[in-house]
């Protein structure tokens, strides 16, 4: 159980820190984040790459009691496995080859603030007990010493991996998962919230250029084309496309494919959007349930027969 702080009812807000969204999914997410940010609860952010998990983590830090402390990001997948322990917990001089001088480590550096462990699913299995021990005790041990150092750090973890599936495959420790997953926040992919595309695009253009430029660039045809795109790279891809659009001036070149110059009719656009939503919803539900149709249908709140019809309609094969 997390120590949620009771708050009075508030009107939905369309942003949390630098994260922006007006879809029902994001409004609910921002409401949850507003409640958990002031607490000391460990948070696990899940979602596809590019959905903005780091931006959300920084927003949590800014709205926490630790806002005046450091916000440090460590990417568990970007450092050689043999160096991760030293990066996180520090080392003494001479502890290993090239350890010329002592280093405090990121846990100590983040003391009084927040440490984001990005791509936690990439953390090697042999290091997971040491991280678990640090989270449980609030103490770290530098490589090359037997003494421990107290640290005061709030940890946020993020991953695009299915950690429950990784646990079943014995690639991730269940006890570490439950230590991290005090509050689990899933960030939905951009394709499932197309109404967030226009305000995000406007935000990026305004930051890169100006509000006047955003009004000039985001014509109805451009907005319709951006909204119709399925954004496999999520918000990160949208930002890159906007930057290229400002450079090359042609949306088709910016996205890398030909797009209609004018939006389709309302009914055609609505039909296409519904088909994209259904296909993505079914696939995401199956992925979240390990491909088990019965579980996916229960999760979706529909019958197994209805779920099978959706799978058949969109050419998605069953795995059970």
Each residue's pLDDT expressed in tens, for the chain with a length of 320 residues: 444 444 433 445 689 999 999 898 999 999 999 999 999 999 999 999 999 999 999 999 999 999 999 999 999 999 888 789 888 998 666 555 565 676 778 999 999 999 999 999 999 999 999 999 999 999 988 877 777 889 999 999 999 999 999 999 999 999 999 999 999 999 999 999 999 999 999 999 999 988 888 888 888 778 888 888 889 999 999 999 999 888 876 665 666 554 444 445 566 666 666 776 777 777 777 777 778 888 888 888 888 888 888 888 877 776 55
14, 108, 231 from 193: Cα distances, Å:
13, 39, 11
Asked if 7 contacts 1 with a C-beta cutoff of 8 angstroms, the reply is no
Q: Classify residue 86 as exposed, middle or buried by CB count within 10 Å of its CB (0-12, 13-18, 19+).
A: buried
pLDDT score recorded for residue 133: 94
pLDDT score recorded for residue 219: 82
Q: β-strand 71-75 against 43-46: which pairing, if any?
A: unpaired
CB atoms within 10 A of CB 88: 25
Q: Which strand (E) or helix (H) includes residue 215?
A: helix 211-217
pLDDT score recorded for residue 256: 58
Q: Classify residue 259 as exposed, middle or buried by CB count within 10 Å of its CB (0-12, 13-18, 19+).
A: middle
The residue to which tokens 């088709």 are assigned: 252
pLDDT score recorded for residue 10: 43
The closest alpha carbon to 282, from 268, 269, 300, belongs to 300
The closest alpha carbon to 17, from 76, 82, 61, 75, belongs to 61
pLDDT score recorded for residue 11: 41
pLDDT score recorded for residue 9: 39
Q: Which strand (E) or helix (H) includes residue 254?
A: helix 251-255
**pTM of the shown model:** 0.75
The closest alpha carbon to 72, from 147, 154, 146, 4, belongs to 154
pLDDT score recorded for residue 262: 47
pLDDT score recorded for residue 47: 95
pLDDT score recorded for residue 2: 47
């Amino acid at each position: 159980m997390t120590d949620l702080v009771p708050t009075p009812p508030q009107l939905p807000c369309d942003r949390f820190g630098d994260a922006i969204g007006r879809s029902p999914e994001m409004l609910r997410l921002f409401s949850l984040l507003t409640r958990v940010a002031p607490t000391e609860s460990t948070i696990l952010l899940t979602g596809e790459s590019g959905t903005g998990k780091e931006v959300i983590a920084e927003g949590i830090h800014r709205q926490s009691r630790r806002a005046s402390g450091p916000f440090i990001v460590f990417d568990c997948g970007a450092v050689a496995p043999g160096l991760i322990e030293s990066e996180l917990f520090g080392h003494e001089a001479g502890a290993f080859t090239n350890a010329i001088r002592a280093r405090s480590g990121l846990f100590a550096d983040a003391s009084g603030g927040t440490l984001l462990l990005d791509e936690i699913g990439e953390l090697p299995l042999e290091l997971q007990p040491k991280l678990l021990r640090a989270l449980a005790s609030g103490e770290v041990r530098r490589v090359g010493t037997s003494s421990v150092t107290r640290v005061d750090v709030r940890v946020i973890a993020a991953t695009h991996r299915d950690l429950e599936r990784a646990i079943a495959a014995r690639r991730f420790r269940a006890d570490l998962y439950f230590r991290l997953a005090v509050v689990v926040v899933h960030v939905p992919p951009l394709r499932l919230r197309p109404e967030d595309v226009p305000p995000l695009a406007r935000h990026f253009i305004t930051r890169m250029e100006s509000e006047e430029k955003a009004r000039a660039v985001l014509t109805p045809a451009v907005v319709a084309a951006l909204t119709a795109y399925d954004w496999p790279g999520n918000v990160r891809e949208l930002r890159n496309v906007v930057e290229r659009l400002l450079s090359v001036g042609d949306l088709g070149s910016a996205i890398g494919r030909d797009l209609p110059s004018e939006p389709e009719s309302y009914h055609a656009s609505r039909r296409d959007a519904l088909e994209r939503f259904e296909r993505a919803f079914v696939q995401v539900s199956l992925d979240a349930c390990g491909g088990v149709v019965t579980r996916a249908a229960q999760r979706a709140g529909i019958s197994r027969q209805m779920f099978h019809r959706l799978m058949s309609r969109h050419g998605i094969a069953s795995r059970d």
